[in-house]
Amino acid sequence: MSATIEDIFRQTAGGGGGPLYMRLRRSIEEAVRTGLINPGDALPSERDIAATAEISRVTVRKAVQHLVADGILIQRHGSGTFVAPTVQRVEQSLSSLTSFTEDMARRGMTLSSQWLDRGLYDPSNEETVILGLGAGEKVARIARLRIANGNPLAIERASLAASVLPDPDAIENSLYAKLDETGNRPVRAIQRIAAVNLGRHDAELLDVAPGAASLRIERTSYLPSGRIVEFTRSIYRGDAYDFVAELRLQA
């Protein structure tokens, strides 16, 4: 008879050495590794695990917290604890200026977006300076959660002059496709990449634990004239993205 997750929990108290929470942690990791519990499956409640394993709820909580920090489990407020979904890693070149939509389509991935914000606003001082806005000019802001094959991968927050994007609601899938229609698609960009830990809000959107590793990318994009057309701050899941750059030896 094959083992159940309850059998794994029952073996915790008497199996192996080390602190109880570490034994439970190893037991859950093994259950995930062997497919006894699968990505997306809900873990039994803290109370049920403690009762089955005959250990304290504090011990269960500590083991679960470590597994959440390691990205093996995720906790959803009001729903419980789940095995983290397996996310296909995406390799993106840093030598081409492409949109998220184009990147995912090229890989044959199914793309969707969840709009977080889009509209015309009074610009911040930073937006005024970067985009070179005139007095009284509005800024178009768009923010969305980018999802590929059902997995949230990135959060994009872009700012453009309202003269370039007068109707943010007209964007369907690709911002760059919309800019291309009016001859305002950027031809080059400067990107700055930094490693950051996710705050609670962005972590919930990306379906990972608060504090999880991520990549913050600031992109400043230019028209052929040299004018800055777009300023975007994006957050990419650290467990889903590899950015690749080809380097050549200068003569």
Pair type for strands 241-244 and 90-93: parallel
What digits encode the pLDDT tens for the residues 23-71?
Answer: 888 888 888 888 888 888 888 888 888 888 888 889 888 988 888 877 7
Residue 1's pLDDT is: 38
- Dihedral sign for Cα atoms in the order 150, 231, 214, 200: negative
Residue 180 and residue 154 in contact, taking contact as beta carbons nearer than 8 Å: no
pTM of the model: 0.70
Q: Are 16 and 10 in contact (CB under 8 A)?
A: no
| Mean pLDDT, range 122-129, rounded to an integer | 96
* Contact residues for 162 (Cβ-Cβ < 8 A; gap 6+): 120, 137, 138, 139, 140
Please report the beta strands in the chain, taking only residues with DSSP state E, as ranges in sequence order: 73-76, 80-83, 90-93, 111-121, 139-148, 151-161, 188-197, 213-222, 228-237, 241-244
Question: Taking 60 as the threshold, does the pLDDT of residue 81 lie above it?
Answer: yes
Backbone angles phi, psi at 93, to 5 degrees: -75, 145
> What is the Cα–Cα distance from 165 to 121, expressed in whole angstroms?
12
List, for residues 158-195, the tens digit of each pLDDT value.
Answer: 999 999 999 999 998 889 989 999 999 999 999 999 99
Query: For the chain, first and last CA: distance in Å?
Result: 67
- Going by C-alpha positions, the residue among 205, 215, 218 that lies closest to residue 237 is 215
In sequence order, the β-bridge partners of residue 159 are: 141, 231
pLDDT of residue 207: 85
* DSSP 8-state code for residue 71: T
Q: Does 117 score more than 60 pLDDT? A: yes
pLDDT tens for 189-238 read 999 999 999 998 999 899 887 888 899 999 999 999 999 999 999 999 88
What b/e string do you get for 22-61 counting C-beta neighbours within 10 Å, with b at 16 or more?
bbbbbbbbebbeeebbeeeeebbebeebbebbebeeebbe
Tokens at 184, concatenated: 């305002």
Gyration radius of the chain's alpha carbons = 23
